[in-house]
C-alpha cells in the first residue's frame, strides 16, 4: 500500500468551506443512475430549516456530531524529493456531517399565500379579481419558495384544488367546485356519456354555454377527478373521488351545526343522483367528520372536522385533537395523523410521544399525555 505524507497548506485556508453529506440508499441510487443532472435542490428561506428535494421526495437536513474529526485533503502540487512520497494537503477539518431524513413536504405556507386569490363563481375574470390589484403567486414561485418536491407540489395543488390560470395559482372555492361536480354528474347522464370514456368537448361545452363555467376551469377539474387523454378528447372519471367530494361539499355546511347521519345521506344521495347513489358511503369521508350520539334520539350526528385544516406541527396537532375530544379511539385518530408522517411506523412513535394508551371493553383509546 503506497504511503502518503499529509501536510498543511502554506496558503490561508478558510475553515468551514466543506460539508459532509451522508446519502440514504435511495438517494444514492438516484444520483448514480442519473446520466446528467439528478435534479436536486436545497430549499428554505432565512427563517426555515433547510430541506433537500429530489423530483419526488423531501428530506430534512440534520446536523450530526462526529466522534472523530474528518479531514478534507487534496493532492499537493509539490513532491517530496527526498522520500518521493505522494503528498496531500489538509483543506478543512470536519466534526459533523449532514444527515438526510425523509420528511413530509412543508406546504403550510400555501394556504396563507393563496388566501385572497380564490376563484369564485361570478368573480373569475381578471378585472374582478378584488378591488385592489394583488401580486399574483405563480407556479414558478411556488416551486422556488415552497419546501416540496415537484411531485409533492403537484399532488398538493390537486388535493387543494388549485387552478393554474395564466401561470397564476388560484384556489377554486369549495362552493364553486361543488357546483361544477354536480353539473358534470348531471350532464354525464343527460348526454348519455360513459364514465370511463366521456367526451371532454361535449361536457366542457355544455358547462360553458349553459352555466358560464370557463372551459379551462372545467378541464382542470376533470383532471383532478379522473384521467384526461393526451388529446383532451376523453375523460375517465374517478367515480369514487367525485362522489366523495360532493359529499364533502354537503358536509362542509355542518361544521358548527351537526346533521343527523340519515339526513346527510339523503342529501348526498340526492346530489349525486340515482346513477351514482350506490357509491355513497361514509367510509369515503373518514378524516373529515366527527360522529357523536344525539342527546335527543338514537341517531348519530355528523359535524365537519377536516384533517386538512389542522396544524402540521405534531405537538400542536395533538393539542387540537385532544381539545376537540378528551380521548379518541385508535381507529378514529389515525386518519388525523396520516398526513404528518412519512411512514406508517412513525405513527406509533407520535402516539407514544404525545398520547397515552387506554384499554377498556370498547377497545384501544388514546388520551393526552400528562406532562
- Predicted confidence at residue 4, as pLDDT, reads 67
Asked if pLDDT for residue 42 goes beyond 60, the answer is yes
118: confidence class by pLDDT, cuts 50, 70, 90: very high
- Predicted confidence at residue 37, as pLDDT, reads 74
Integer-rounded Cα Rg, in Å, for the chain is 28
- Predicted confidence at residue 320, as pLDDT, reads 96
- Predicted confidence at residue 132, as pLDDT, reads 44
- Predicted confidence at residue 130, as pLDDT, reads 47
Q: What is the CATH number of domain 310-371?
A: 1.10.10
**What mean pLDDT is reported for the chain?**
88
- Contacts of residue 28, Cβ cutoff 8 Å, sequence gap at least 6: none
Asked if pLDDT for residue 16 goes beyond 80, the answer is no
* CA 64 to the chain's CA centroid: 28
- Predicted confidence at residue 94, as pLDDT, reads 85
Which pTM was predicted? 0.84
Query: What are the structural domain ranges in the chain?
Result: 4-103, 104-172, 310-371
Asked if pLDDT for residue 272 goes beyond 90, the answer is yes
Asked if pLDDT for residue 81 goes beyond 90, the answer is no
Give CA separation, 108 vs 286, 288, 327, in Å: 22, 18, 26
Nearest to 185 by CA among 235, 146, 242, 129: 242
CA 47 – CA 50 distance, rounded (Å) = 9
The top-scoring range by mean pLDDT among 16-25, 90-99, 124-133, 144-153 is 144-153
For the CA atoms of 170, 174, 178, 184, the dihedral, rounded to the nearest 10 degrees, stands at: 10
CA 165 – CA 214 distance, rounded (Å) = 11
Q: Residue 107, exposed/middle/buried by CB under 10 A (0-12, 13-18, 19+)?
A: buried
3-state secondary structure of 61: strand
User: Mind giving me the DSSP string for 228-291?
Assistant: E-TTS-EEEE-HHHHHHHHHHHHHGGGSSS-EEHHHHHHHHHHHH-TTTGGG--GGGGTTSEEE
Mean pLDDT on 253-269: 95
CA 272 – CA 278 distance, rounded (Å) = 10
3-state secondary structure of 115: coil
- Predicted confidence at residue 127, as pLDDT, reads 45
- Predicted confidence at residue 2, as pLDDT, reads 64
Under 8 Å between Cβ of 327 and 367:
yes
All cell numbers assigned to 347 = 405513527
For the stretch 300-359, pLDDT in tens is 999 999 999 999 899 999 999 999 999 999 999 999 999 999 888 889 999 999 999 999
Amino acid at each position: 500500500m503506497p504511503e502518503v505524507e499529509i501536510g498543511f497548506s502554506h496558503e490561508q485556508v478558510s475553515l468551514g468551506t466543506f460539508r459532509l453529506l451522508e446519502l440514504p440508499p435511495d438517494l444514492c441510487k438516484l444520483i448514480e443512475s442519473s446520466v446528467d443532472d439528478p435534479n436536486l435542490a436545497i430549499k428554505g428561506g432565512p427563517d426555515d430549516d433547510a430541506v433537500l428535494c429530489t423530483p419526488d421526495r423531501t428530506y430534512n437536513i440534520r446536523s450530526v456530531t462526529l466522534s472523530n474529526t474528518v479531514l478534507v485533503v487534496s493532492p499537493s502540487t509539490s513532491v517530496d524529493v527526498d522520500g518521493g512520497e505522494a503528498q496531500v494537503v489538509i483543506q478543512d477539518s470536519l466534526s459533523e456531517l449532514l444527515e438526510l431524513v425523509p420528511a413530509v413536504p412543508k406546504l403550510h405556507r400555501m394556504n396563507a399565500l393563496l388566501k385572497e386569490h380564490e376563484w369564485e363563481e361570478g368573480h373569475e375574470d381578471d378585472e374582478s379579481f378584488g378591488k385592489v390589484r394583488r401580486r399574483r403567486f405563480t407556479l414558478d414561485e411556488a416551486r422556488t419558495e415552497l419546501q416540496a418536491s415537484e411531485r409533492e407540489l403537484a399532488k398538493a395543488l390537486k388535493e387543494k384544488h388549485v387552478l393554474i390560470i395564466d401561470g397564476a395559482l388560484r384556489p377554486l372555492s369549495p362552493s364553486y367546485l361543488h357546483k361544477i361536480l354536480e353539473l358534470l354528474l348531471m350532464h354525464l347522464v343527460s348526454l348519455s356519456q360513459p364514465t370511463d370514456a366521456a367526451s371532454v368537448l361535449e361536457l366542457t361545452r355544455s358547462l360553458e354555454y349553459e352555466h358560464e363555467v370557463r372551459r379551462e376551469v372545467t378541464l382542470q377539474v376533470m383532471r383532478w377527478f379522473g384521467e384526461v387523454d393526451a388529446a383532451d378528447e376523453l375523460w375517465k372519471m374517478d367515480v369514487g373521488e367525485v362522489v366523495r367530494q360532493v359529499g364533502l361539499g354537503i358536509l362542509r355546511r355542518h361544521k358548527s351545526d351537526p346533521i343527523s347521519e340519515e339526513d346527510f345521506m339523503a342529501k348526498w344521495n340526492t346530489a349525486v343522483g340515482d346513477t351514482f347513489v350506490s357509491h355513497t358511503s361514509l367510509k369515503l369521508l373518514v378524516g373529515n367528520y366527527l360522529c357523536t350520539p344525539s342527546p335527543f334520539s338514537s341517531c348519530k350526528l355528523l359535524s365537519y372536522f377536516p384533517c386538512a385544516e389542522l396544524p402540521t406541527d405534531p405537538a400542536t396537532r395533538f393539542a387540537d385533537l385532544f381539545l376537540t375530544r378528551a380521548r379518541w379511539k385508535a381507529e378514529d385518530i389515525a386518519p388525523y395523523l396520516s398526513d404528518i408522517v412519512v411512514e406508517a411506523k412513525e405513527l406509533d412513535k407520535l402516539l407514544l410521544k404525545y398520547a397515552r394508551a387506554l384499554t377498556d371493553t370498547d377497545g384501544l383509546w388514546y388520551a393526552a399525555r400528562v406532562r
